[in-house]
Amino acid sequence: MEARDRLIVGLDVPSLAEAQAMVETLGDTVSFYKIGYQLTFAGGLDFARELAQEGKKVFLDMKLLDIDNTVASAVENIARMGMSMLTIHAYPKAMRAAVEAARGSDLCLLGVTVLTSMDEQDMIDAGYEYDPHTLVLKRAEQGRAAGMGGIVCSAEEAGAVRQIVGPKMAIVTPGIRPAGGDRGDQKRVMTPADALKAGSSHLVVARPVVKAADPKAAAIAILQEMQTAL
């Protein structure tokens, strides 16, 4: 894959009009978009279908977690929408149900391990017995065993996760910040080039592009930095 196939721009904007304007601004520079909760509840699902119909790839970041039947039913419908990627919280039962429901489709299911906004103290506060790194690796093993298409983790864990999941599974890393960029609310971050070198296959970048004064120039700069690592 080229850099353009690996960059996923997060449309983390408050309105459908802003998302449409961003996609138009970025043009052919970007071919892959993430739609998460913020845009989903502002008409984002219909927009996701439109993007897919226009030939763009769409990563639907829903982080599904529910009883098996509910997860499976949701995955079946999302697969029919033409989405490229979908996130599931990396609980073994939920992942197994999702994998069975997506069988025969082109939908790549991603197991969300530990959010990149969480550090060790956050894990303790949430009642987990594992530190972030240990839990990420445990859930990566479970995702591989369940037959998932990939794992979502921070770039800090990408190398260790790659050793667990092998060369074929996707490793999608949010928390990507160009050198000197503002971390915002992310605690485990890495630059685009370093993330790819560490083992990431796809990079999710939102604020450094969508909040930039010139989003297209920002995306091009990130793609150029990514290319140095490929």
Binding-site residue set for substrate: 12, 34, 61-70, 116, 177, 186, 207
Cβ-proximal residues to 12 (8 Å cutoff; 6+ apart), any chain: 34, 36, 38, 39, 206, 207, 210
Residue in 56, 63, 197, 216 annotated catalytic: 63
160 closest CA partner among 198, 195, 193: 198
Structure tokens at 163: 């050793």
Determine whether 57 is an active site residue.
Answer: no
Tokens of 90: 């990396």
Could you list the residues known to form a binding site, using ranges. Answer: 12, 34, 61-70, 116, 177, 186, 207
Closest CA to 151 of 117, 126, 114, 123: 114
Site of tokens 């069975």: 100
Distinct helix (H) and strand (E) counts, the chain: 12, 8
Nearest to 149 by CA among 169, 167, 163, 164: 169
* Distant-in-sequence, close-in-space partners of 53: CB < 8 Å, separation ≥ 6: 82
Ranges of H-type helices in 60-214? 68-80, 92-102, 120-125, 132-146, 155-165, 192-198, 207-210
Question: Which residues are marked as active site?
Answer: 63
